[in-house]
Amino acid sequence: MTMTTGGYVFLIVCWTVITIAFAYCTVRTIRGGFKE
Amino acid sequence: MTERERWATRIGLVLAMAGNAVGLGNFLRFPRQAALNGGGTFMIPYIISLVLLGLPLIWIEWSMGRYGGQFGASTTVGMFEKIWKHRFAKYLGSLGFTIPLLIVIFYTYVESWTLAYAFFSLTKWYFGISDMAQMNAFLRGFQGIVGHGLFSGVMISVIFWIITVCLNVFVISGGIARGIERLAKIAMPLLFVFAGILIVRVFFLGTPDPALPENSVAAGMAFIWNPDFSRLGDMTIWIAAAGQIFFTLSIGQGTIPCYASYLRKNDDTALTGLSTVSANEFAEVILGGSIAIPISVAFLGIAATQQIAAQGSFDLGFVAMPMIFQKLPMGFIFATMWFLLLFFAGVTSSVALTQPLMAFLQDSFGVARRHAALVLGAILILFGLPNVYFLKYGYLDQCDFWIGTIGLAAFAFVESVMFAWIFGGKNMWEELTRGADIRIPRIFYYVMRYVTPLCLGVLLVAWVWQDITSESSIILLSGAGEESRPFLWFSRASIAGIIAAGMALVYLASKRRKRKEAVR
C-alpha cells in the first residue's frame, strides 16, 4: 500500500491545523497566567 | 470556612486537564478506529464531531465547574443544586462522583498492566516469544485467564495493580497543586518526550525487511491516512468518530467540572479549555497515529495488522507491540518507553477520576485529604478485586459498557441540558464568555443549546441499537455463557449498589449541612 494524494492531503492538513492550534493555544495560555 | 484549594499555575492546570484527557485511548483506540473506519475519511466526521460535540461539551463542563466553584461546590452535586432548584438535582449530581469512581475502579487495573509490561520489557521477561498466539497466551497468563509457565495465577497482576492503586493514592493525598498538578508537570512532558523518541525511531525504520518491500512505515501511514470516500455515507463511521471524540476528551466523567471548580470567578475557561483540547488532539492524531499502526504494518504487514486491529486495542498494545519491539536493536528500551508512555497517560487520567469523590468527601463531610485518599484506596481495592478475579467472565466489560460508554453519554446529556436549558442560554453564554481570553463565535451558543444535546441523544440511541443488534450483546447477555451470567449480574448489581450508595451519601451530606445551618 502506498500513500495516495488524498492520504497526503489529509495527513498534511490535519497535522498542520492541529500543530498550529496546539502551539498557539499553549503559548497564549502560558503567557496569560491567572487573572487574580 | 477554610480557603479552597487552587491551581498554582495556569500551565499546570492545562497539563492536568490534558493529562485527564490523554489516556490509553489516544495511543491504542484512535489509530485502530481510524484504520478500521475509512482511513483519512474518518477525519471528516472526527473533526465535525470535535466541533459540534467535543468542544461545546468541554466548554459546558469548564464553565459549569467554575460556576460551581464560586459557591464552594467541587462536584456536580453542588453544581446541579445551584442550577436546578429541585430536591432531586443533588441526587442526579451524585453521578458526577459515582461515574468516575466506577470507571477508576476498573481503569486502575488496566493501567496496572502498562506498569507491569514496562517492568517485563525492562527485564526482558517476554523476550523470546515470537508469535502472536504465544504472546497472547503470555497476556492471558498474566491476567490469570489461562495457566502459563511464567505466572502462578494472578499474583503478579495483583501486585502491580496494588502498586498502581498506591501510586494513585499517594498523588491524590497531595491535593490539587502539590499532588495532581505536580504529577502532570512531570508525567505529561515525559509522555510527549517518549512519544517523540518512539516516532523518530518508527520513522527511521523505513522497510525493516528488504525482502518484503510492501511492509514499511510508509505503508502503515497510508493504511491510516489514505481516504476511502465510499465509506463516508456509512453511518457506522460517523458513530465511531463521534464516540472517539467523546471518549478521548474525557467528557461526562465529572472530572472536568471538578478540576474547573478550583478556578476563580474571572479566570478564563474558553482558551484554557481549547488548549486542553488541542493538546489532546496533538497527542492523539499526531503522536498516537504515528506509532502503533505504522510499526505494526512495517513488521507484520497490512493483513496481519488489519486482523490485530479488528481484534481490539489491547491486542495491538499488549500483544503486537511487545512482539515487534523484540525485533528492534535495543528493543527493550523502546518497549519500556512505550509502556511507560501508556502508564503516564493512564495515571494522569486515573488521578483525575478519583478527584470528584475526594472533593465530595472533603467538602461535604469535612474528611481530611489524606484520610479521604486512604478511604478511596480501600474502595479501589475492595471493589476492584472482582475485576481481577472475574476478568475472564466479562465482569470488566459490563462495567466498561454500562458506565464507560452508556453512563458517560447519558451524564453528558444531563449536563448539557442542565447548563444550556435549565441554567438558561443567556446565563450559559455569560458564564462561558466571562473572563475569556478568546472570542467564542456566537454560533456556538446555538450549537451548545440545540446541536450538542441532539448529537448526544442520537449517539446514545445508536450505541444501544448497535449493542442489541450485535451477536454478543452486552445488554441482552446474548453472547455470554451460562457460567458467566452470575458474574455479569454481580457486575451490574455492584454498579447499581455504588450508584445507590452515592445517592445515600448525598442524602447524609444534605442532613449534615441542614443540622449545621440550624445550629448557626
**How confident is the model over B341-368, as a mean pLDDT?**
96
Q: Say which of A1, A21, A22 has its CB closest to residue B222.
A: A1
pLDDT digits (tens, 9 = 90+) for B107-129: 999 999 999 999 999 999 999 99
For the question of an ipTM over 0.90, the answer is yes
Q: Does A31 touch chain B (CB under 8 A)?
A: no
Distances (CA, A) of B39 to A11, B287, B308: 10, 16, 16
N-terminal to C-terminal alpha carbon distance within chain A:
55
Mutation target to probe the B interface, by most B beta carbons within 10 A, among A18, A20, A31 is A18
Where is B184: in which H helix or E strand? helix B181-203
pLDDT for res B2? 57
* B151 beta partners: B148
pLDDT digits (tens, 9 = 90+) for A1-36: 889 999 999 999 999 999 999 999 999 988 876 665
Question: B residues 86-145 near A, CB within 8 Å?
Answer: none
Query: Which residues in chain B have Cβ-Cβ distances shorter than 8 Å to A30?
Result: 10-11
Distances (CA, A) of B260 to B75, B125, B165, B479: 10, 42, 24, 41
CA distance B23 to chain A (A): 18
- Give this prediction's pTM: 0.94
Average pLDDT, chain B: 94
pLDDT for res B73? 94
Residue B57 has pLDDT above 90, yes or no: yes
CA distance B53 to B50: 6
Torsion angles phi and psi, residue B148, rounded to 5: -150, 140
The pLDDT > 90 percentage for chain B reads: 87
Number of residues that this document lists for chain B: 520
pLDDT for res B181? 95
Distance of CA B160 to the CA centre of its chain: 20
pLDDT digits (tens, 9 = 90+) for B223-273: 999 998 998 888 899 999 999 998 999 999 999 999 999 999 999 999 999
Residue that has been written with the C-alpha cell 535495543 in this structure: B330
Q: What share of chain A is helix, strand, coil (3-state, %, to 5)?
A: 80, 0, 20
Query: Which residues in chain B have Cβ-Cβ distances shorter than 8 Å to A32?
Result: 10, 268, 271, 437
Q: Say which of B43, B221, B223 has its CB closest to residue A14.
A: B43
Neighbouring CB atoms inside 10 A of B413's CB total 20
pLDDT digits (tens, 9 = 90+) for B271-329: 999 999 999 999 999 999 999 999 999 999 999 998 898 888 888 999 999 999 999 99
Query: What is the DSSP annotation of B80-119?
Result: HHHHS-STTHHHHHTHHHHHHHHHHHHHHHHHHHHHHHHH
pLDDT digits (tens, 9 = 90+) for B441-466: 999 999 999 999 999 999 999 999 99
pLDDT digits (tens, 9 = 90+) for B148-191: 888 888 999 999 999 999 999 999 999 999 999 999 999 999 99
